[in-house]
């Protein structure tokens, strides 16, 4: 079975930066094991398999890390929307995921897609029960905001550090982090509308992620809930510099009072490779 695929670098407009994703544009007929083994073979943080859509979605997608399937993830959705949007020349791509239908609005300049913005599931949140173990694994003394876990499909836990230098200097015990379970650990610092993050998810097969779209939306919610930004304020998130994959993400949480009504995350993407796999 010869299957074409595209590799896009996401949350960047510069090739070989951002977060790469492999998009198999025809995943029909592939079984769970074939998809998982293919994702392990490619060894990117995520690999996407595109399946037929329905009345509400242009396509259905399945998202795999090297070790597990995810119900939702940001950069695979944005990268897939860029790939399918270029083929179909449509302004909005709707992708059905295990977390529901995600709409991605595409902005074009000179017939090229230059930006995409997805509306993410509104996350739930709760205090993280194993905060002391988490801080120990990170090698830090504490967090400037409550340590909370947000779920919008995957689970991300947020630790606010005092400075961007503190974030850049992190050298976590990845084995200890993995023992905390299948979650992402997002460490951040910043102010106003600009923040620096690093995200570690060793139990998901990703030691450190260059750009984490599924963590960007909940970060905006977390900051708004704790008074660091206003609801409706867009933030810029920079990630990936420490692993030589600099990325830029944009996120905002909209609502009124303390109620979050929409979560949006956007960025650029660029196709860097095309090829085919022969899958037995």
Enter the DSSP assignment of 219: H
DSSP 3-69: EEEEEEEES-SSTT-SEEEEEES--TT--HHHHHHHHHHH-SSEEEEEEEEETTEEEEEEEE-SS-E
Tokens read off for 105? 């609005």
Q: Taking Cα atoms as reference points, which of 91, 33, 26 lies closest to residue 60?
A: 26
Rounded distance between C-alpha atoms, residue 24 and residue 119, angstroms: 23
70, β-bridge pairs: 63
**Residue 133 annotated to the active site:** no
What is the number of other CB atoms lying within 10 angstroms of the CB of residue 242? 16
Rounded distance between C-alpha atoms, residue 53 and residue 69, angstroms: 19
Q: What is the dihedral of CA 228, 101, 20, 252, to 10 degrees?
A: -20
Rounded distance between C-alpha atoms, residue 78 and residue 213, angstroms: 9
Which residue has 């998901």 as its token pair? 204
In the set 33, 41, 46, 111, the catalytic residue is: 46
Catalytic machinery residues: 46
């Amino acid at each position: 079975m010869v299957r074409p695929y595209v590799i896009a670098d996401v949350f960047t407009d510069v090739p070989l930066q951002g977060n790469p994703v492999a998009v198999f544009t025809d995943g029909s007929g592939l079984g769970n094991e074939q998809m998982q083994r293919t994702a392990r073979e490619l060894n990117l943080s995520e690999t996407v398999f595109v399946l037929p859509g329905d009345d509400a979605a242009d396509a259905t997608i399945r998202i795999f890390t090297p070790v597990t399937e995810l119900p939702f993830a940001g950069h695979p959705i944005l990268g897939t929307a860029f790939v399918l949007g270029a083929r179909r020349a449509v302004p909005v791509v709707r992708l059905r995921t295990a977390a529901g239908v995600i709409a991605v609005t595409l902005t074009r300049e000179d017939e090229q897609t230059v930006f995409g913005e997805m509306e993410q599931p509104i996350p739930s949140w709760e205090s993280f029960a194993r905060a002391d173990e988490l801080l120990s694994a990170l090698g830090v003394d504490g967090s400037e905001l409550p340590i909370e876990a947000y779920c919008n499909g995957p689970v991300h836990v947020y630790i606010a550090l005092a400075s961007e230098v503190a974030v850049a200097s992190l050298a976590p015990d990845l084995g200890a982090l993995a023992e905390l379970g299948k979650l992402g650990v997002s460490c951040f610092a910043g102010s106003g509308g600009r923040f620096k993050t690093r995200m570690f998810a060793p139990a998901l097969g990703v030691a450190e992620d260059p750009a984490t779209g599924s963590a960007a939306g909940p970060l905006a919610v977390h900051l708004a809930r704790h008074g660091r930004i206003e609801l409706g304020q867009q933030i810029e998130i920079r990630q990936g510099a420490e692993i030589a994959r600099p990325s830029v993400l944009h996120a905002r949480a909209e609502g009124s009072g303390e109620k979050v009504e929409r979560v949006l995350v956007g960025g650029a993407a660029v196709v860097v490779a095309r090829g085919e796999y022969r899958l037995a």
